[in-house]
Chain A
Amino acid sequence: MRHMMSPLDFSVDELESMMDLAVQIENDPEKYAHVCDGKKIATLFYEPSTRTRLSFETAMLNLGGSVIGFSSASSSSATKGESVADTIRVVGTFADIAAIRHPKEGAPLVASQVSPIPVINAGDGGHQHPTQTLTDLFTIRSLRGKIHDLTIGLCGDLKFGRTVHSLITALIRYPNIRFVLISPEELRLPSYIREDVLDRNHIAYKEVTRLEDAIPELDILYMTRVQKERFFNEEDYVRMKDFYILDKEKMDLAKEDMYVLHPLPRVNEIAVEVDSDPRAAYFRQVRYGMYIREALIMTLLEVSVC
């Protein structure tokens, strides 16, 4: 029995197979509409989430399965002091697979150590969110037809953004990926990722502060939100904030086949006027997320089309 705690739990070849399966599901959803008949997913969400929980639930429903679970810690036994380990032991007697989101880092790993059913980490604090990374990888592959020989711009809050850290760690396993790290000085990628991940693996990257300077060379632009509270003073925030708002003017500088991704929710870092641009792929990304979660559920449950 396998679990999904980190994207690195699966080899590049295994992820490739999972993405191939996701493509087949996307192309012929009817064929997969009953592969999980009689199976149940438990979505154990100790903190609120809209997209991730609904994406998991929809993924299971699309495969013919059903859903149980809770969407906040207040509606679970956690309020009575039940441990994560005990909760999964109990839930494991009802469901066939579980997706866990928890504010405490490592909680899904604790569950997986005692769980009788496969556990998926659906986000644990600022630590990991592997299905977002799978979504990002699958989106890049679907849009560009490959996950190699690409220049990928990561823009915004590179210091605290767990999706960015996780994506970088996953992408360096593919050949000829170059990164352009676009952020204010205050929100640069942490040194442990620059040194321990990028430098150690001899990955090409450069750091810039202005999105305009970087955008012409990018194949993928991965946007994240720059939050006001991350700055030490208001003046710096005001000075920098417009550099990181993607608008039509900046899109005009980009290649015709550059795609814009965003883990969502978007606040104001991508102007609404960009939504109609065919290169704005962040809503398609949500759809790809659902397909890859379907493929992940099938992989962990070891079910296939008869």
Chain B
Amino acid sequence: MSSETISHGHAAEASVHSHDSHEAHGHDHHHEESFLTKYVFSTDHKMIGKQFLITGIIWAIIGGLFSVLFRLQLGYPETSFPVLEDLFGKWAAGGRISNEFYYALVTMHGTILVFFVLTAGLSGTFANILIPLQIGARDMASGFLNMLSYWFFFLASVVMFASLFIQTGPASGGWTVYPPLSALGQASEGSKLGMDFWLISMALFIVSSLLGGLNYISTILNLRTKGMSMTRMPLTMWAIFFTAVLGVLSFPVLLSGAVLLLFDRNLGTSFFLSEIVVKGEILPNEGGSAILFQHLFWFLGHPEVYIILLPALGMVSEILSVNSRKPIFGYLAMVGSLFAICILAFLVWAHHMFVTGLNPFLGAFFVLLTLLIAVPSAIKVFNWLTTLWKGNIRFTPGMLFSIGFISLFISGGLTGIFLGNSTLDIHLHDTYFVVAHFHIVMGVASFFGMFAGVYHWFPKMYGRFLNNTMAYIHFWVTMVGAYLIFWPMHYAGLAGMPRRYTDWSNWQSFNQFQDMNRFISTVAMIVFAVQILFVFNFFYSIFKGRKVTSTNPWGANTLEWTTPINPGHGNWPGDIPEVHRWPYDYGKDGRDFIPQVEPIGADESKH
């Protein structure tokens, strides 16, 4: 009896809910939204996505600028730039970047780019904008949690940004914040207040990405429109789904590490601190284990790499198929390989710790599991190439960035096979080879995925196109520049040149690379300038770009192109469309494309 009332209550509530949203969103032109509810405390997934994107762009400029500053130091270690002293005062006394400043710059560059740009800026943006549009939902499962997710990110951003202006500087022990360096204020300037700000900011950031991730998972699993089975979802949705699962399961572990580190820093506990003497002072701590932190950190840290990469994989798959005018090759293999990467992501963290004294026997298993990632990755590359093969390719900017992504994914992936071997890692560990590897495969490749996504979905976001000329300049300079910057680093790394040094001019083995370093720095500055061109293009096109005149400018099959050019809150003015087929019917039965909403014809087989 009672269970009957419950189910009755459910059904009643559900129907009221859908009725409500129809009423409120279907006729949203009738009631005016205030500036505050529309642009600031918005619960509309599209606006939240744009908020993530623009905040991410601001962070990317800051993080990129930091890399230009430290490249200036690496390229011209002997030269004095008085303007730096004017700008940064004691941090660049005599026009030279001080050691503390250099470490602060690389730490913040890593933190900002990994977390604030490529996690929040990338999956925050595209998960929000694309999930409801591509699965056919009015909004996220909880618009309120979604709004909270952005504002926690905003708070995290404020705290991190504030830490840049602390007298003792921001955190500077590397983005991995290994204790004991990060745990002891006595150990370095950056381990003082800046480190507490870093940890608080990261805690807020973790809350933000958990709230976001919960919503993404629950929306994808529960709010798909009629006919949108899991296997009819675009690959972007699968990728974002797995990204969210990775985030929800791995970020809490980082949070536990951060909490214990906060204890060690502020309450004098000894989780990560063993018997230590700093500057002649014997510390009371005993019995802690610094390696314990590395385990906790990399249990997040490695999945984090895939949190960054998977959305790019998904978007690239979609954009390649649309612009090759061909179905994606091996849809289920693509989903399966995403799943495999997702599982393996949790089983390989110790490959970051091969030289920490890890048992070599244990290391062998991590080598095996790490190398196994090559299998799903190769499947994906094969499927992208076969999707391109004999395609009717349209070289739109989004397509160019997607093809560029494949190139970078291959180059960066191959060096991963080197680094995944624990024996080779003894030599390559902490050299520029590592820097080159992860910048290409995680940094630049994911950026390419993000650019591809921005160019492809900009018409949906703002109802205008980005300027093509600037886009092509952006692509070619970035593509060539990425290789010119990171390719030479492999050689320096193989020669043993270590990371994290400010100056090699007095180091006989490595000062031979001085010219190469200067070259890399020069290219880095040019590439940075071109990114500024992209940012200009982005903001210019929001207001002045060529207007989109048809609802489906790319001739794509997915649901977001069935909405009006500038969809309101609720996305579809009438009923949500029903889905009848998978999203990759391109060039089928003599037709260029068949949207997902078109019913299966009489002489068609079901997909």
Q: Are A and B physically bound partners? A: no
Please list the residues of chain B having a beta carbon within 8 angstroms of any beta carbon in chain A. Answer: none
Please list the residues of chain A having a beta carbon within 8 angstroms of any beta carbon in chain B. Answer: none
